[in-house]
Amino acid sequence: MPLRSFLGIALLVVGFLTAGGGRLQARDGGMDPSIELPIAVRTHVERPFGGFRRKPPPVNGKVYGILSIAQTKESAPIVKPISENAILAQLRSVLGKQGFREIVAGETPDIILTVLYGRGFLRNPYMRGVIEDPISDPPVVTILGATPDFLVRIRQANYESKLQKAQVEKLYIRITAWAPPQPAAAGKKPEPKILWHTTMVHDDARRDLNLVYKDMLEAGAPLFDKEIEVEEVEIRKRNPQGAVEVGVPEVVSPATPPKE
């Protein structure tokens, strides 16, 4: 192609991208409302036994202190580093919206929170009542036996598909509430006591956690210290993604003829 023609085409392309309505705009991390971001929330409240049955759910306090935050080391690392301070800032925000309050100097908390995040193969909540033998990495579960309750549940509509979906590697954030340490009996160490825990999971373990941690915490916060009658609750948020917008094309002729 002659150099004059090549330069002319190049100038037309530049004009299309930069002049008038021909705009090329990149959006990174925008929210596309037409695509959903599924987040599953698993939550549990500890209930001590009273006789042959468990007692009613306890009333746990809402004044909290944050003890630690850590990334799991048991599986593959997350795809990009993330600021733990950013996770804690979002956690404090969603806790405040649910009526929790952080301790001030000299105050004793009702609950102590720990945060664990990362990616990995979590225990499958749909396998409750199953005697299993997990082997290999990723885990392949061999079912050795099951309770009658599980055999009834496995026949429910979509239960097996949910079980299979829960078996894949997850991106997750887990919030655990502990009781403040109590004086132990003489000669014994105080045992840590879990009050409740909530885990937010997303199926795409290769997604950047920076893009979804806020939505994960927002999805899970209303279920902090709450009991649910199902294995997990799926909440769909708007999907964060990058996009490119191209405006109306407009051809701009070069002001002067290109030189050889």
At residue 15, does pLDDT exceed 50? Answer: no
At residue 84, does pLDDT exceed 90? Answer: yes
Predicted local distance difference test score (pLDDT) of residue 60: 94
Above pLDDT 70, what percent of the chain?
64
Tell whether 39 and 157 lie within a shared domain: no
The number of folded domains in the chain is 2
Structure tokens at 156: 């429910």
In this prediction, residues 206-218 reach a mean pLDDT of 95
Tell whether 198 and 142 lie within a shared domain: no
pLDDT digit string (tens) for 229-249? 888 999 987 765 543 344 455
Question: 208 versus 246: which is more confidently predicted?
Answer: 208
In this prediction, residues 204-216 reach a mean pLDDT of 94
Predicted local distance difference test score (pLDDT) of residue 202: 95
Among 163, 190, 213, identify where a domain stops: 163
Pairing of strands 24-45, 194-202: antiparallel
For residue 147, name the pLDDT band (cuts at 50, 70, 90). Answer: low
Highest mean pLDDT (candidates 64-78, 90-104, 127-141, 188-202): 90-104
Question: 86 versus 53: which is more confidently predicted?
Answer: 86
Q: Rounded CA gap, 8 and 123, in Å?
A: 62
Contact 90, 217 (CB under 8 A): yes
Tell whether 113 and 38 lie within a shared domain: yes
Residue with the two structure tokens 């008038």: 20
Q: Residue 241 carries which side chain, given as an amino acid letter?
A: Q
Predicted local distance difference test score (pLDDT) of residue 125: 79
In this prediction, residues 161-188 reach a mean pLDDT of 85
Tell whether 40 and 156 lie within a shared domain: no
pTM of the predicted protein model = 0.71
Q: Is residue 237 part of a domain?
A: yes
Tell whether 130 and 48 lie within a shared domain: no
Burial class (CB in 10 A: 0-12, 13-18, 19+), 106: exposed
Tell whether 106 and 55 lie within a shared domain: yes
Predicted local distance difference test score (pLDDT) of residue 138: 58
Q: Is residue 5 part of a domain?
A: no
- Could you write out the DSSP letters of every residue in the chain? --HHHHHHHHHHHHHHHHSTT--EEEEEEEEEEEEEEEEEEEEEE---EETTEEPPPP----EEEEEEEEE--SSPPPSS---HHHHHHHHHHHHHHTT-EE--TTPPPSEEEEEEEEEE----GGGTTEEEEEETTTTEEEEEEE-HHHHHHTTSTTHHHHHHHHTS-EEEEEEEEEPPP-PPPTT-PPPP-EEEEEEEEES-TTS-HHHHHHHHHHHHGGGTT---SSS-EEEEEEEEEEEEEE--------SSPPP-
Its domain, for residue 138, covers 126-163
Query: What CATH number has the domain bearing residue 84?
Result: 3.30.160
Tell whether 38 and 116 lie within a shared domain: yes
Collect contacts of 126-129 with beta carbons under 8 A, ≥24 apart: 126/153, 126/159, 126/162, 126/163, 126/166, 126/231, 127/163, 128/231, 129/153
For residue 177, name the pLDDT band (cuts at 50, 70, 90). Answer: very high
Q: Is residue 9 part of a domain?
A: no
Predicted local distance difference test score (pLDDT) of residue 24: 36
Tell whether 220 and 143 lie within a shared domain: no
Tell whether 36 and 159 lie within a shared domain: no
Q: Is residue 257 part of a domain?
A: no
In this prediction, residues 24-46 reach a mean pLDDT of 68
Tell whether 108 and 181 lie within a shared domain: yes
Predicted local distance difference test score (pLDDT) of residue 237: 75
Q: Is residue 90 part of a domain?
A: yes
Tell whether 91 and 78 lie within a shared domain: yes
pLDDT digit string (tens) for 54-75? 777 788 999 999 999 999 987 7
Tell whether 37 and 138 lie within a shared domain: no
Structure tokens at 16: 């299309």
Predicted local distance difference test score (pLDDT) of residue 110: 97
Q: Is residue 196 part of a domain?
A: yes
Q: Is residue 256 part of a domain?
A: no
Q: Is residue 62 part of a domain?
A: yes
